[in-house]
Amino acid sequence: MLEQSFSIYHLEYFLAIVVRVMGAMAFAPIFGNVTVTRRVRILLSIAAAFAIFAANPYVPLNYNSFLEYTILLLKELVVGLSIGFVSNITLTIIGMAGQFIDREMGFSMVSAFDQSFNTDTTITAEFYSMLVRVIMLVSNLHYYILSALSDSFVLIPIGNVKLDSGRIYDTMLQYMVDYFLIALRIGLPIMIAIVLLNVILGVLAKTAPQMSMFVIGIQLKIFVGFGILVVTIPFLSNITGYVYEQMQKIVMNVLQAFY
């Protein structure tokens, strides 16, 4: 419940909440997409900050000068940016899996523009990423970002931000290891199918050298790859759930580095 008295100290406390929330919204999945305009992001950030301000009791901030308050806001911004960034990079696992698939199918030279990271990516990686975002929306997984933001104010109260750089380094290092392993597991069915197809084509090239296996192989890889994609698409919801669990894990590990 909102307090009846609202002083300049409450406003300073509210601004600190807004800074952390806006930092998270800048990079968070779904909310931080470039298709979401800045005005919408600002309005969502203010609305979320107001809800968090109303749900959490006011605690006086400990600072003595304008410089100390500025440093306090910068720390809150770092916490918000960290939450948004680490939750967003987990989705790059899907993109890496799509690049593995396109490399085997022969689509690695075909690129599409990824609006989330403003970079060129392969078509299967973009297709997988869009499907995962749709699944996140329809299953309300994007609410986890708001939940993590709200919980961060309980774990790390305003003005009590501490940074353990060693823990963040270990978390990101472990993520890089899991990043390639998970992406490889997602693309493994198509990769195995293409490897078996290459073995078969190699045998046929020896037994029937008059046949152009290079031309036939390119077409067969595309057909086999699309066939496996159609078969494995129903399992994309399970993949999204697994990526969601990884998102929870890395966000919690990063939050623990700030208190």
pLDDT for the residue 41: 86
Phi and psi torsions of 5, nearest 5°: -95, 130
pTM as predicted = 0.81
pLDDT for the residue 257: 81
| 145 in Cβ contact with 22 (< 8 Å) | no
Angle CA 243–55–247, to nearest 5: 10
Q: Domain ranges in the chain? A: 8-256
Q: Could you report the per-residue pLDDT of 119-173, keeping only the tens digit for each?
A: 677 788 888 888 888 888 888 777 877 888 888 888 888 888 887 777 888 888 8
pLDDT for the residue 1: 45
Q: Which pLDDT band, with edges at 50, 70 and 90, does 18 fall under?
A: very high
